Amino acid sequence: MTSSTLTLDPAKLRARALGRKNPEAEARTDGGFSLIEIMAAMAIIAILALAILPQFGKFFERAAVQNLAGEVSNAALLVESDYSLTGKATYKLPGVTASVADSKRSTDTTLVGSLLTEAGADAAAGANGYGFKIVGTNPGVTNYTVIYKSTGTTPGLVIAPK
């Protein structure tokens, strides 16, 4: 080694500054982290990750519920506008299902429209309805039901836990 290498070596400079007699024989004690310290840090990070992980599933399901609620609301607006433009007072199932099908944007969302009586109960097959109901389903939404009712005791969008 050259003399410039000897003078630039931090361990030797530190030993010389501290007044040690033989800087060549000094053992390095500041080589970095020990294996135990690294493993302890990794264990702490793993415990924190396991505590946070369940929250991500809830976050994604909340986002899927919001998307599904938006699609159901859009379908309800389209049904209402289709019938208000024609001036009809009662709904017919083919018109409701066609409007619901036209409003669907997402490929994994399923929207089903049906007719309701004045009281908000499901209408009989083939009857005219005074209202309509849209039920939305999505594979990402497993713990909630998203339903829009245009009439009855609780009209509007209802997001309820299953």
Q: How far apart are CA 21 and CA 24, in angstroms?
A: 9
What integer pLDDT is reported at residue 28 of this predicted model?
Answer: 56
What integer pLDDT is reported at residue 23 of this predicted model?
Answer: 52
Stated as kind and residue range, the H or E segment containing 75 is helix 35-86
Q: CA dist 49 to 26, 37, 58, 59, 60, Å?
A: 42, 18, 15, 15, 17
Classify 40 as helix, strand or coil. helix
- Eight-class DSSP state of 122: B
Tokens of 40: 């302890």
Kindly indicate the confidence band of residue 102, based on its pLDDT and cuts at 50, 70 and 90.
Answer: confident
What integer pLDDT is reported at residue 75 of this predicted model?
Answer: 93
Q: Higher-confidence residue: 66 or 57? A: 66
What integer pLDDT is reported at residue 132 of this predicted model?
Answer: 93
Kindly indicate the confidence band of residue 20, based on its pLDDT and cuts at 50, 70 and 90.
Answer: low
What integer pLDDT is reported at residue 141 of this predicted model?
Answer: 92
What integer pLDDT is reported at residue 160 of this predicted model?
Answer: 93
Kindly indicate the confidence band of residue 3, based on its pLDDT and cuts at 50, 70 and 90.
Answer: low
Residue 4 predicted with pLDDT over 60: no
Tokens of 83: 């019938």
Q: How far apart are CA 79 and CA 85, in angstroms?
A: 10
With a pLDDT cut of 90, the percent of the chain lying above it is 40
pTM of the model: 0.68
Q: What share of the chain is helix, strand, coil (3-state, %, to 5)?
A: 50, 20, 35
What integer pLDDT is reported at residue 104 of this predicted model?
Answer: 76
What integer pLDDT is reported at residue 119 of this predicted model?
Answer: 83
Nearest residue to 143 (alpha-carbon basis) of 46, 16, 54, 58: 58
Average pLDDT, the chain: 84
